[in-house]
Amino acid sequence: MANWLDATVLENKHWHPNLFSLKVKTAAFDFIAGQFVRLAMDTADGRKQRAYSIVNSPGVTEQEFLINTVPDGSLSPLLQQLTMGDTLQVSQPASGFFILDEIPDGDNLWLISSGTGIGPYLSMLGTHNLWQRFEHIVLVHSVRTVADLVYRDFIEQKQAQYPGMLHYQPIVTREAHSGALSKRIPELIRTGELQAACKQKLDNRSQVMLCGNPAMITDTRAQLEALGLIKNLRRKPGNITVEQYWK
Ligand SMILES: Cc1cc2nc3c(=O)[nH]c(=O)nc-3n(C[C@H](O)[C@H](O)[C@H](O)COP(=O)(O)OP(=O)(O)OC[C@H]3O[C@@H](n4cnc5c(N)ncnc54)[C@H](O)[C@@H]3O)c2cc1C
């Protein structure tokens, strides 16, 4: 059974009306980059709790979450309204196997996300382990609008810190944006446009993590399998490791 830590809101940064970063303070706890916790609030309809990936890297007591407001959702609209000083609860321990320890070695590591699925990768980018293990890291972020391209300063900072190692490729599907691709990820992989834009190969010597919405994950996985990549299992190591945010 989960234990719960009290958390106080330090900041709620609204990137746009349906996307926000919630920063909370809790007692210190351990987690591995890529893991998630549950956030909980008590409401007139009872307790609401949902899973959220931790965006910050381990070692700090301020925890950050990137959250999309689901308009008819039970919890995310409530989290969106929180302001500094409000309280909520954070589950313990952090959970999940979407972590670098589960990823076999490879020639390069593709971190492919849609929407808020970039969260766990931001946590990984802040760890030493990632840069020690892979020479080339490709961060792909597919979103609808330019306003969804979050944490760009942080990503640029990492590119400057590790020259030539981090290839960042935004994909914006509903607006034109300089430097961004605009088609769906599976199509971009099928045609080779994504690999060409990132100047990285994507084959059975690559490791690929997929995080975000179910359609992106199902379709991208099928496309990767067509290229000869296979799902990564503990009992049978492969190339594709997945975290799906909803069904
Ligand atoms: C391991 C894990 C990690 C997660 N991490 C994050 C995260 O870092 N950030 C985040 O925003 N969400 C994340 N989610 C999704 C999150 O747990 C909730 O499902 C989401 O916030 C909706 O909750 P709700 O109570 O507002 O809506 P609900 O009433 O639970 O759901 C309404 C419906 O909205 C759809 N839905 C669920 N999540 C989303 C979404 N993100 N965008 C669009 N539609 C959605 C589903 O069809 C769902 O049935 C994660 C889920 C899992 C399983």
Domain with CATH 2.40.30.10 in the chain: 3-92
Distance 247 CA to ligand 1 centre (A): 9
pLDDT value of residue 60:
84
Query: Using CA atoms, how far apart are residues 82 and 62, in angstroms rounded to an integer?
Result: 16
Distance 67 CA to ligand 1 centre (A): 8
pLDDT value of residue 61:
80
pLDDT tens digits, residue range 40-81? Answer: 999 999 999 999 999 999 988 899 999 999 999 999 999 999
pLDDT value of residue 1:
66
User: Which residues 6+ apart lie within 8 Å of 167 measured at CB?
Assistant: 136, 137, 138, 139, 198, 199, 200
Q: Could you give the count of Cα atoms lying within 13 Å of 48 in the half-sphere of its Cβ?
A: 12
Mutate to test the pocket of ligand 1, among 49, 55, 70 (most ligand atoms within 8 A of CB): 70
Which CATH number is correct for 100-244, 3.40.50.10210, 3.30.300.30, 3.40.50.80, 1.10.3720.10?
A: 3.40.50.80
User: Does residue 91's CB lie within 6 angstroms of at least one atom of ligand 1?
Assistant: no
According to DSSP, residue 74 is labeled S
Ranges of residues in the chain whose predicted pLDDT is under 50: none
Domain with CATH 3.40.50.80 in the chain: 100-244
Q: What is the pTM of this model?
A: 0.97
pLDDT value of residue 199:
97
**CATH T-level assignment (fold) for domain 3-92:** Elongation Factor Tu (Ef-tu); domain 3 (2.40.30)
User: Does residue 241's CB lie within 6 angstroms of at least one atom of ligand 1?
Assistant: no
Strands 206-212 and 240-244: what pairing? parallel
pLDDT value of residue 2:
73
pLDDT value of residue 147:
98
Average pLDDT, the chain: 97
Q: pLDDT exceeding 90 applies to what percent of the chain?
A: 98
